[in-house]
Amino acid sequence: MSDKSTDTSGPPRYSSNAGCSASLCWVCGGGPLTCVHEGNLPTTLSSEHFQITNKQYGHMGALYRCANCGFHQCTGMVNVLQHYVSMEDQQYEATRGARALQELGILRHIPASQRRGRLLDVGAGSGILIEQANKIGFKAEGVEPSIELQTRAKELALDVHLGVLPHPDVRGPFDVITIVDVIEHVPDPVGLLRRARELLSPNGILLVATPDRRSLVARLMGWKWWHYRVAHIGYFDRKTLGAAISAAGLKVSALKRPGWRFPASYLVERVMSYAPQALQFRPPVALDRFIIPLNLRDSMLAICRPHEFEKV
């Protein structure tokens, strides 16, 4: 899961058609913002809509585009942290084996000479990436807002702190920080990156993974793209991700297209979510044994360093 917001005051605020004449872009601070999708949220939101494995694709808050930088954001959804705190996701844990291979693949993008030292995973879930990082030589810890997922991590003796950044028990410097599929959930992405930058060692590495709304698959699928979902409130492309990273005092040293791994049954179920209800069925349990690598090149993995770092 993720550092979704640090604002826990008041009830959650969201609107399927929120006006934003006085709102500013979450990346560049500019505007104006123009509505590009009126939104189609359920009448009542619950923690189930924010599950990692939620498959209600094509549902989102009202989406606005910044005329200055092009960033797309759901301006009316700025305080949803309580949904992540209470969120439970049994299917996420059921796919732990496949996700472990996926997280190991992410870690392999770290230069071999720097696969050691302290690692922080922001939005650590039940500690899958932390578990893999420890196995390859890191001393890893994480931060996670979901009580259920953080409890599971503790049961596995993984060092995951309950909450979000900043966190009193999370102290730098870290040699590597990972923010994987998190930044699209927060209403202050630059602030999150800055908090990570403050915890990073001078020659450390920050890995940021997020969907790419300008990818070929995203453009072909339009509003039915699987990354258009309730929990995603900010949508990046290469330009806006680079702008957010730069505004946080970091620079991109490489941009990758990460792949993912899922049980075959999980992928079949995802594909069927696009079919009429009458044609949907439960995939055979036997498919759970088969792990499918998948790379549709619709995600970005930015490998970042502090601005002042100069490679010798």
pLDDT on residue 9: 34
- Three-state helix/strand/coil letters over the chain: CCCCCCCCCCCCECCCCCCCCCCCCCCCCCCCEEEEECCCCCCCCCHHHHCCCCCCCCCCCCEEEECCCCCEECCCCCECHHHHHCCCCHHHHHCHHHHHHHHHHHHCCCCHHHCCEEEEEECCCCCHHHHHHHHCCEEEEEEECCHHHHHHHHHCCCCEEECCCCCCCCCCCEEEEEEECCHHHCCCHHHHHHHHHHHEEEEEEEEEEEEECCCHHHHHHHHHCCCCCCCCCEEECHHHHHHHHHHCCEEEEEEECCCEEEEHHHHHHHHHCCCCHHHCCCCCHHHHHCEEEECCCCEEEEEEEECCCCCC
Residue 194 pLDDT: 97
pLDDT value of position 17: 36
Ordered by where they begin, the domains of the chain are 33-259+295-306 (3.40.50.150)
pLDDT at residue number 271: 82
pTM for this model (two decimals): 0.89
Q: Per-residue pLDDT for the chain (312 aa), expressed as one digit of tens each?
A: 434 333 333 333 333 333 333 489 999 999 899 999 999 998 899 999 999 999 999 999 999 999 999 999 999 998 889 999 999 999 999 899 999 999 999 999 999 999 999 999 999 999 999 999 999 999 999 999 999 999 999 999 999 999 999 999 999 999 999 999 999 999 999 999 999 999 999 999 999 999 999 999 999 999 999 999 999 999 999 999 999 999 999 999 999 999 988 888 888 888 888 877 777 777 777 777 888 898 999 999 999 999 865 443
